[in-house]
Structure 1
Amino acid sequence: MPTVLIVDDESFFLDSVVEGLSAALPGVTFLKAHHGEEALHQLERSPVDALVTDLKMPVVDGFQLLAQLTQRPAPPAVIVMTAFGTADIERRVRRHGIADYIEKPIDLQALANSLRQALAQRAGGYLQGISLSSFLQLLGLERKSCRLVIRQAAQVGELWFEQGQVVHAVVGDLQGEAAAHVIVAWESPEIALHPAARPSQRTVHADLDQLLLDAHRLFDEQQREGTVPQATLTEPFSMDEASPRQSTTTSQETYNMANIKESLTAVMDIEGCIGAALADWKSGMCLGTIGGTPTYNLEIAAAGNTEVVRAKMKAVANLNLKETVEDILITLDTQYHLIRMVKSAPNLFFYVAIKKDTGNLALARHKLNQIESSLVV
């Protein structure tokens, strides 16, 4: 009989979830824990087949719990519960060892279906450790502040996070982004999570997604040159349904990041522009962002709008229309959200948010057309 451990600090919610899942999955034994430390004690007493955990909890939170699980030779299938989530994030964390990513408030039936799938995969022999890239992505999504001590064989590195972004990294004699690139590419390292501690200096300025992309691009290049042993590499972090290594390497080799940055800067000159992003709707990868606000995360917005573009492309194909999509307009109460396809790279699109009261939609479209035409990728 499979066993599932549910971890959440809200007792009423925990009891309700266990009661509902017990009725939906009568052949499963359910255990409860109110925080990560209690969950680890449960795992010491008896292994489980799957674990469902919240991220924000007292004593030992979900991040520390996941860090401990990466060090176990046979970790359970993991389902994460959180207040943040998109379809693209769900796909990529599923591929990297986390069985699913469920957004609160919980859809009990959806959680039961995810558990059925996770337990079926485990019964079939599927089990994968949680990758470092996936773990770092979770820290970013939850805007976590902490210090990670990461060990790979005899090497030890440290990453400092502030509000979900890496601000300092060190390994051996290396510091900053060079050190972060080395650490991110480690395969199946041990991860220890410590409380937030402000570093003496900030040495990393790239955002987390860009840091992950650059790290894997650099190591792919070094592997081709024969300067990096195969054993030190890890699979690149990709949201595409195809092979992760093939998808990420192809994309990164062809993108002109300097020109992308110039183009996004030009987009911000559009009157009323709140922020902009350039994204790949086929892979879900965000190539760059600019602007935004503390409460308006452009990376999440760009990732969510890849679903909009995919749905429109599918509708055009199903209708057998011999047309190309130039742009998609979404009108809100106070904003225009404009999606402009890139003709020179049909898998890319600009996503631009514009204030209705200060922006001019016709002029914005005209300027965005000029910027899109000059983009070189």
Structure 2
Amino acid sequence: MPTVLIVDDEKLFLSSVSEGIANLLDGITILTASQGAEALEIIRQGGVDLLVTDLKMPVMDGFQLLACVASEQPQVSAIVMTAFGTSEIEKRVREIGAIGYIEKPIDLHALASLVENTLAKRSAGFLRGINLSSFLQLLNIERKTCTLNIRQGQQLATLIFQEGELVNARTEHREGEAAVYEVIGWSQPEIEMSGVVKKQPVNVHTPPDHLLLTAHQVLDEQVREQSLLQKDRVLSSGTSVEQLQPTGLRAEHPSQENTTMANIKESLVAAMEIDGTVGAALADWKSGMCLGTIGGTPTFNLEVAAAGSTEVIRSELKLMSNIGLKEVIEDILITLDTQYHLIRLLKTAPTLALYLVIKKDVGNLALARHKLTQIEAKLEV
């Protein structure tokens, strides 16, 4: 029999909701708590499958409760009772994975249906716990001001939110958006939340939803690269490509993928020979996937930058479409204080783009464009 814990600081409301759900749903156990700390103690005793909580409560609010549950009891799913106010916020919160929501004033039949569906998904294996991305989105949606201390093993990260906007992020080795991408990749984060916010310089300038989208694109690419590396290791031991692939998915030309990867690598090496180049990458701007990188620095994550460049391309194409401009983009130049970021779309492969980062005081922009054209001519993908 699944157990549902309902948390709200208004006693009359809590009583009516718990009794209403009990009358509408059979076969579940309902527990109640008046604030987050009390709820957390109940959850720590074990046996709670679903948490239904308000966000604004004394002692420990709903955000702090969700953070603790995500760290200590990741198997517990959650539904948030709140008022969003706008259709845009409602649309965005629907995209949150493990956290369901319902607006106040509560429609008991709607809440009962949401509880029933959430428990059904859990039993079917589709829904497990509160993930970090979902929690960060909720902080953004509810315009929360707080500090998150996130730990995994010996690794520690700090994220600062001001009225729902992520303004500062840092880990031991990274700051800003690069730190966010690192944290999203942690598989078992422990979250501590504080309402105290220390003054820190703003080092994150991208909206949280865009950051999370890019972060997951980067993670997907890392998984892909690990798969390719594993395949290369097996190939070097004498195993054929056919042996690596399931029946019906075997390549007609086993050497084609290796040839393509070698060609990409040679092209990126050639790009690094351009004067002043800090790093180069090849990316698929439609999917956001990075096909290869070279260079970069410990504080400049080239994979993240390349994935971000694909958003620039998509934005420019959308702008051109909106104003009815029927032209073909040759390249896009972003000029910073000390760097040029040059994005060249490939004519031979329209969904791919070469991304080059050049030091302004060393590189020559005209020469870089000329050499990128030569590299593109030899690149076969």
State yes or no: 1:204 paired with 2:204. yes
Letter in 2 for 1:40: L
Counterpart Cα distance in 2 of 1:70 and 1:229: 33
State yes or no: 1:214 paired with 2:214. yes
State how 1:1-377 maps to structure 2 within 5 Å.
Answer: 1-45=1-45, 47-73=47-73, 75-84=75-84, 88-89=91-92, 91-93=94-96, 96-98=97-99, 100-124=100-124, 128-226=128-226, 251-253=287-289, 256-261=310-315, 368-370=322-324
Over the aligned positions, Cα root-mean-square deviation in angstroms equals: 3.3
Counterpart Cα distance in 1 of 2:124 and 2:209: 33
Q: Deviations over 1:11-51 (max 9, x none)?
A: 22211111211211243332211111110122234522221
Letter in 2 for 1:27: G
SS of 1:147's equivalent? strand
How many residues align? The count is 256
Residue 74 to residue 219, structure 1, CA distance change in 2 (3 Å): closer
**Mapped contact 2:93–2:141 kept (Cα < 8 A):** no
**Mapped contact 1:185–1:219 kept (Cα < 8 A):** yes
Counterpart Cα distance in 1 of 2:26 and 2:145: 40
Letter in 2 for 1:13: F
Q: Deviations over 1:111-161 (max 9, x none)?
A: 111112223334455551211111100000001111111112221111111
Counterpart Cα distance in 2 of 1:217 and 1:125: 24
Letter in 2 for 1:168: N
Letter in 1 for 2:98: G
Equivalence for 1:285: none
Larger Rg: 2
Counterpart Cα distance in 1 of 2:174 and 2:92: 31
Equivalence for 2:379: none
SS of 1:57's equivalent? coil
Counterpart Cα distance in 2 of 1:175 and 1:228: 29
Equivalence for 1:348: none
Counterpart Cα distance in 2 of 1:149 and 1:68: 11
Equivalence for 1:360: none
SS of 2:287's equivalent? helix
Q: Deviations over 1:298-347 (max 9, x none)?
A: xxxxxxxxxxxxxxxxxxxxxxxxxxxxxxxxxxxxxxxxxxxx6xxxxx
Letter in 1 for 2:208: L
Letter in 1 for 2:4: V
Q: Displacement, 1:375?
A: 9.3
SS of 1:191's equivalent? strand
SS of 1:215's equivalent? helix
**Mapped contact 2:285–2:314 kept (Cα < 8 A):** no
Counterpart Cα distance in 1 of 2:310 and 2:328: 9
**Mapped contact 1:160–1:199 kept (Cα < 8 A):** no
Identity score, percent? 45
Q: Displacement, 1:214?
A: 2.4
SS of 1:175's equivalent? coil
Residue 125 to residue 164, structure 1, CA distance change in 2 (3 Å): same
Residue 178 to residue 34, structure 1, CA distance change in 2 (3 Å): same
**Mapped contact 1:222–1:228 kept (Cα < 8 A):** no
Counterpart Cα distance in 2 of 1:27 and 1:4: 11
- 60-69 or 209-218: bigger deviation: 209-218
SS of 1:149's equivalent? strand
**Mapped contact 2:77–2:130 kept (Cα < 8 A):** no
Letter in 1 for 2:211: L
**Mapped contact 1:129–1:188 kept (Cα < 8 A):** no
- 218-227 or 10-19: bigger deviation: 218-227
Equivalence for 1:362: none
Q: Displacement, 1:259?
A: 4.3
Residue 103 to residue 258, structure 1, CA distance change in 2 (3 Å): same
Counterpart Cα distance in 1 of 2:224 and 2:205: 27
Letter in 1 for 2:95: R
Residue 132 to residue 259, structure 1, CA distance change in 2 (3 Å): same
Q: Deviations over 1:211-252 (max 9, x none)?
A: 11222233333444449999xxxxxxxxxxxxxxxxx99633
Counterpart Cα distance in 1 of 2:14 and 2:7: 7
Counterpart Cα distance in 1 of 2:76 and 2:195: 25
Q: Which runs of 5+ in 2 are unaligned?
A: 231-283, 290-306, 330-350, 352-381
**Mapped contact 2:55–2:81 kept (Cα < 8 A):** yes
Counterpart Cα distance in 2 of 1:10 and 1:43: 20
